[in-house]
Amino acid sequence: MFVQILAMDINLENYELCLPIIQKAGVVHKIDFSEGLTLPFLYQMIQEDGVEFVLDCVNLKKP
């Protein structure tokens, strides 16, 4: 089974904060990070034929 993760955030620093954990887990090659707004990208994916995906939203904001 091929698994690819698309991680999106409006701030690259959030990804960089988690990068050491991702590297330690050995899955950095499976994650494609994109900086920007999520909804326009999701609308585009829904319009494309033959694209299958699972959507999980995680909000890691902490006070």
pLDDT digits (tens, 9 = 90+) for 1-59: 667 788 888 888 988 988 999 899 998 998 888 888 888 887 887 787 666 767 666 66
What pTM was estimated for this model as a whole? 0.59
For 1, the domain range is: 1-63
Task: Give 59's contacts (C-beta < 8 A, 6+ positions apart).
Answer: none
What is the number of domains present in the chain?
A: 1
| Distance set, CA 19 to CA 2, 5, 7 (Å) | 21, 14, 12
Look at residue 63 and tell me whether its pLDDT is greater than 60.
no
Q: Which two tokens stand for residue 9?
A: 């955030």
Helix (H, G, I), strand (E, B), or coil: what is residue 28?
helix
Q: How far apart are CA 63 and CA 48, in angstroms?
A: 38
